Structure formats: C-alpha cells, structure tokens
Homo-oligomer: A and B are copies of this chain.
Amino acid sequence: MRVRLDHDRPRRIGQPEAILCEGKALADLDAILGALQGRPTLLTRLAPERHAALAAPPKDYDPASRTAIVNGCLPARTGRVRVVTAGTGDLPVALEALRTLRFGGLSPDLIADIGVAGLWRLEEQIESIRDSDAVVVVAGMDGALVSVIGGLVGVPVIGVPTSVGYGAAEGGRTALNAMLASCAQGVLVCNIDNGFGAASAVLRILEARAR
C-alpha cells in the first residue's frame, strides 16, 4: 500500500485532507482519486497538463488557481471573508485561496490590485475590509500591504507572501520576512504562495467561532 489517506481528518479538524498534486507521480494521483470513496476533496497545485493526463480528470477544474474539486464542496457556512491582492501578479495565489474558501462552504470576495504604491485604491476599499470576519492579504515584492492593512483594521489579518518579483524579492522570502517583521501588531503569516493554507486557517477561525 503506497497511498494511505487520512480519511479521519474531518472528524479531528473539521476539514478533509487536501491533495498537494505537485511532486506526486500521476499513477499515485490516480490511486488517490480512486480511493476517495465519494468524500469531498480539494486538489491543489495541479498544473493543467497534469490534470489532463490523469486517468479520470476531475470535471470541476480551474486552471487559473490550479485547483480541482472532487465530490462537491463542504456544506455552506456563514462568514464575511475578503481576499485582497497587492498586484495583478498575485492573482493566482489569491484564486487558490478563494477556491479553497468556496470548497469550505463560504462566499468570499476578491479585492484586487490595491498595493501601497497607489494608496487611494486601498482607502477606497478599507470599509469593506474592516467589515470582515477575516482578511487574507496576498502580496509579493515588499509585502508592505500587510503592514498597512494590519494598522487600519482590527480583524484577523493573514498575510500570504508571493513569489512575485525578482532579485532582492528572493522568490518571496522578502515579502515573507517583511510580513513576519511587520510593524503592525498581530498579523499572521503563511508559507510563500500558500493561498490554500491561508484559506484553511480562515476555516479554522470560523469553525471555532461557530461552536
């Protein structure tokens, strides 16, 4: 047995195991899909050409976010969540977060392209951000948007650094470190490009609240 799914995860943490498709052999992905037994499951980081090469390519596939949803979404739940981006290059990561949130039963909003180099864009959207249960902030390069939003609103702020940028952007490490060392207090951070993880954290926050 080369594949051992954690089918018990929903009972323990309220969310099913997601399948990180990058770095797994196609045959192993096929085996995993064959073992799902009707359980709702999210597939992440699944490139279009690998999706097409699966034995039974999932129908609900979205190439922009590189995600597939198998056996439908989780039951709907309430919660106002905003996913915010600094620039257009951050969109794929934001879309991964949005798909994960929808899989989790939410109806999140995207607020795109409000990076701090043109602060009026953020100011136009700030009330909607403030009026959230949680905000996911997706930003590369300097990652400065997390600090500015963290200083303007009191809701949970989850920063997702992206690998957007070159040179001193260091493949997302600069945005990551800047978010961790933010001058705004109480902002939290995910791995680089991990829109899935940020959304999964939002689900934890809303789940805990719902009890």
Question: A interface vs B, CB < 8 Å?
Answer: 1-6, 8-9, 12-15, 17-18, 20, 22-25, 28, 32, 45, 64, 86-89, 91-92, 110, 112-121, 132-134, 141-144, 146-148, 150-158, 161, 163-194, 196-197, 199-205, 207-209
Contacts and interface: CB of A to CB of B under 8 A. Distances in A.
B121 A182 contact: no
Given A118-B17, A181-B174, A194 B207 contact: no
Copies of this chain, whole number:
8
Given A2-B88, A89-B23, A192-B167, A181 B142 contact: yes
Contact of A180 (B119, B176, B196): B176
Contacts of A197: 185-187
A183 B142 contact: yes
A13 B144 contact: no
Contacts of A9: 117-118, 151
A144 B121 contact: no
A153 B13 contact: yes
B153 A32 contact: no
Given A6-B118, A22-B166, A168-B191, A147 B142 contact: yes
11 contacts: A2-B88, A3-B113, A13-B153, A17-B185, A87-B183, A119-B151, A142-B178, A142-B181, A144-B144, A170-B177, A185-B196
Contact of A183 (B116, B153, B200, B207): B116
Contacts of A187: 197, 201
Contacts of A177: 168-170, 173-174, 177-178
A194 to B, nearest CB: 7
Contact of A114 (B4, B146, B202): B4
Contacts of A152: 12-13, 119
3 residue pairs, one from A and one from B, having the closest CB atoms: A186-B200, A167-B192, A6-B118
A197 B150 CA distance: 12
Contact of A204 (B116, B156, B174, B208): B156
